[in-house]
Structures are given as structure tokens and as C-alpha cells.
């Protein structure tokens, strides 16, 4: 039996669907339904809404911004059919702003079905858990994992393990914020007793008293140290390049971070689950206990823990938030998306770009072009 060819759409039908709230764009006669992606677009929803019902060929090729190979591959996931011959010329390159604003208020309605992964050409079976498959990709793993897709990932056969590997963003806030508040109060009141002295294990004569008024500065020091730790973990652990011959290291990399690069908009995998996080957090607390007096180490630790919570919240927001154009978070979102789609070996800062400067892993400024 012959397979049916791609569906054809007239320009009038495309405009009608866009008027109902859908976001369809064409590129060289190929039609794409971006309705499910419009709120996640790195350049903002309004920018994509302005392109609805138009041909985006020129916008993809630039200027001002030439889209990456990964961005073009990402677009293909939303392919729905072809424009009727001759009708592609009737799609204008701009639309009325009033139409854009009206469409943004209408719930996205579309009955178009689009493919998310070409299972015949992909290297893994998406109907089965991926964690135990990726190790067999060998030398193909690094290229495969950095070709993002828009679909959820299942890691484990066990429903229990699978549920433990997923976390809603607010769980991190609800679990760790009370811990931060309690430990902050405990550290401050302990310092207020006046018994904490720096270098007391080496000398009593020249030891330095640590007053309660120092707590805010120690807390901020902990947050600063966390920002460095965040960078180092992201660069040297999460972005290690596992040997192609090592099944177990490839599997570990995918479990730790590769899954996120393969499916960057899987909302259940953008923050660290509390159970494994508690083990890692406990390890770093133990290290600080060995290096610093108990209360002083705890004060630094609670600042770092607060930095971690902010980092996780910010990471989720950089994927799902809509920061106002021109703000710090808008630039940080664009920076992080560049890391996912174009510069996987640079741009490791998430909550801040600060450490990318001294470590020379900053994404070049010339890759960020203004677009109206």
C-alpha cells in the first residue's frame, strides 16, 4: 500500500488557523505548526507571533541572526505539510500587530499532528527507556545527545525510579527553603554566643573572633562559592566527553546531564530531584565541616545552599520564563539557549556568566544579534 504524501495547505487556510490562535509558518513551501512551541521561543512569544502566517526563510538565514543547524533540525519536528503551488508567494513577511495581540489571547487550537522524532532514522528506540540504550551509541553518542528534540524522555523501566528522577520546579523551593531559613537562624544565634573563633585549632593567642554581625557576609561568601562550584560541575562533570568505548560513562553522563541536552524543554527534568540532591549536599557539608569551625562552616554552607536553590529556580525560568526584553534575565536566557543549540562547549554559566570570563568559555558577543 502506497503511503499518503504530505498534506497541502492553501494560504487562506493558513491565515484562518492563525486567526484562531495557531502559529503556522512556512519555509520554502514547507509548512510548520509552532503552536506548541510559541511560548518557549528563546526570542519571546511576540517575536514568533509576528511571524505567524508568513514565510520565515529570510528570517532563518539572517540577518540579523542566522539560525544554527540544531535550530533548523528542531523546526523539522513541527512539519505538517506543504503549501499549495503558488500560494507560498501570497504569505507576506509581516503581519498586523493587532492580529498578533489578538492571537496571543486565544488559546492555541490545532488539530494538526506533527512528528517529534523520526523513529526510523533515530539511533534509539523511543518506545523504551533510554538510559540503558545510549551506552551502545559509542562514538555517535556525543553528536546524538547534542541534537535536541521536543519530547519527554523516559529513563527507567521501573515506575518508582522514573518518578524519583522527575521533579516539578516548586518542589526544590518547598523542600530546601525551610532548611535554608532554619540553618540561617541557627548559624546566626550560634555566632551570637561569641564562642566561634577562626584559627582556634592552630593557636588560641592569635585566633580571630567571628561575631554575629559577620553572618551576612559569610552567607554571601557561600553564595559566591556556590556560583564557582556551579560552573565547575557544569563544565567538568556535566560536560565531560565520555570515551566512546565506555558504556558505563556514557550512561552516567546521560543520567547526569545528557538527558537535559537531548530534551531541553522537558519540564520535569530541569531541576535536581531532592533525594539525590540531599546526598550531594550532605557531601559538601561534610567537606566544609573538615575545613572550617562548625558554626562558620555551617554559615558558609547555608549561603551555598541558598545559591543552589536560586540556581535551580533560575534554570527552570530560563527555559520556561518570558523575561522582558532588555533585562538581565532576557540576556541570560538567550545566552543559555545558545549553549544548548550552538555552543555546547562554552557558556557554562547559568545563574551568572561571571566565571565564563576568567575561564575563557564566554560565548562570543557577536553571536547575539538584535532582532526587532
Q: Is 336 annotated as a binding residue?
A: yes
Q: Is 41 annotated as a binding residue?
A: yes
Residue pair 352/227 in contact by the 8 Å Cβ criterion = yes
Query: Parallel, antiparallel, or unpaired: how do β-strands 79-83 and 197-198 relate?
Result: unpaired
Residue pair 169/271 in contact by the 8 Å Cβ criterion = yes
Q: Is 257 annotated as a binding residue?
A: yes
Q: Is 260 annotated as a binding residue?
A: yes
Residues 6+ away with beta carbon under 8 Å from 126 = 117, 119, 151
Q: Decide: residue 232, CB within 10 A, 0-12 exposed, 13-18 middle, 19+ buried.
A: middle
Q: Is 234 annotated as a binding residue?
A: yes
Q: Which residues pair with 5 in a beta bridge?
A: none
Q: Is 157 annotated as a binding residue?
A: no
Report the binding-site residues: 41, 67, 234, 239, 257, 260-261, 315, 319, 336, 339-340
- Binding region for heme: 41, 67
Q: Residue ranges for the binding site for Zn(2+)?
A: 234, 239, 257, 260-261, 315, 319, 336, 339-340
Amino acid at each position: 500500500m502506497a503511503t499518503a504524501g504530505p498534506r497541502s495547505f492553501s494560504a487562506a487556510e493558513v491565515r484562518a488557523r492563525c486567526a484562531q490562535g495557531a502559529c503556522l509558518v512556512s519555509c520554502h513551501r514547507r509548512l510548520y505548526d509552532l503552536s506548541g512551541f510559541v511560548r518557549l521561543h528563546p526570542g519571546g512569544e511576540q517575536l514568533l507571533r509576528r511571524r505567524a502566517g508568513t514565510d520565515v526563510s529570510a528570517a532563518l538565514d539572517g540577518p540579523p541572526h542566522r539560525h544554527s543547524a540544531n535550530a533548523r533540525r528542531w523546526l523539522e519536528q513541527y512539519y505538517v505539510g506543504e503549501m499549495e503551488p503558488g500560494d507560498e508567494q501570497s504569505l507576506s513577511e509581516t503581519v498586523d500587530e493587532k492580529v498578533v495581540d489578538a492571537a496571543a489571547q486565544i488559546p492555541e487550537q490545532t488539530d494538526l499532528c506533527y512528528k517529534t522524532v523520526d523513529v526510523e532514522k533515530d539511533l534509539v528506540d523511543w518506545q523504551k527507556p533510554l538510559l540503558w540504550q545510549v551506552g551502545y551509541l559509542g562514538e555517535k553518542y556525543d553528536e546524538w545527545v547534542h541534537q535536541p528534540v521536543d519530547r519527554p524522555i523516559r529513563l527507567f523501566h521501573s515506575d518508582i525510579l522514573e518518578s524519583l528522577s522527575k521533579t516539578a520546579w516548586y518542589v526544590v523551593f518547598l523542600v530546601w527553603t525551610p532548611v535554608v531559613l532554619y540553618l540561617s537562624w541557627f548559624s546566626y544565634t550560634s555566632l551570637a554566643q561569641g564562642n566561634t573563633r577562626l584559627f582556634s585549632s592552630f593557636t588560641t593567642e592569635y585566633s580571630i573572633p567571628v561575631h554575629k554581625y559577620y553572618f551576612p557576609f559569610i552567607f554571601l561568601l557561600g553564595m559566591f562559592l556556590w556560583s564557582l562550584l556551579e560552573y565547575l560541575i557544569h563544565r567538568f562533570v556535566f560536560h565531560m566527553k565520555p570515551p566512546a568505548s565506555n558504556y558505563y560513562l556514557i550512561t552516567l553522563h546521560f543520567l547526569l546531564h545528557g538527558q537535559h541536552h537531548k530534551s531541553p524543554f522537558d519540564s520535569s527534568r530541569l531541576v535536581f530531584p531532592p533525594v539525590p540532591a540531599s546526598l550531594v549536599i550532605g557531601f559538601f557539608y561534610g567537606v566544609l565541616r573538615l575545613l572550617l569551625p562548625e558554626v562558620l562552616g555551617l554559615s558558609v554552607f547555608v549561603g551555598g545552599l541558598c545559591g543552589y536553590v536560586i540556581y535551580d529556580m533560575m534554570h527552570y525560568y530560563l527555559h520556561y520564563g518570558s523575561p522582558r526584553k532588555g533585562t538581565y534575565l532576557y540576556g541570560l536566557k538567550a545566552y543559555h539557549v545558545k549553549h544548548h543549540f550552538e555552543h555546547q562547549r562554552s557558556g557554562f554559566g547559568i545563574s551568572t556568566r561571571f566565571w565564563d570570563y576568567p575561564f575563557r568559555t564566554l560565548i562570543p558577543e557577536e553571536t547575539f544579534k538584535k532582532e526587532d
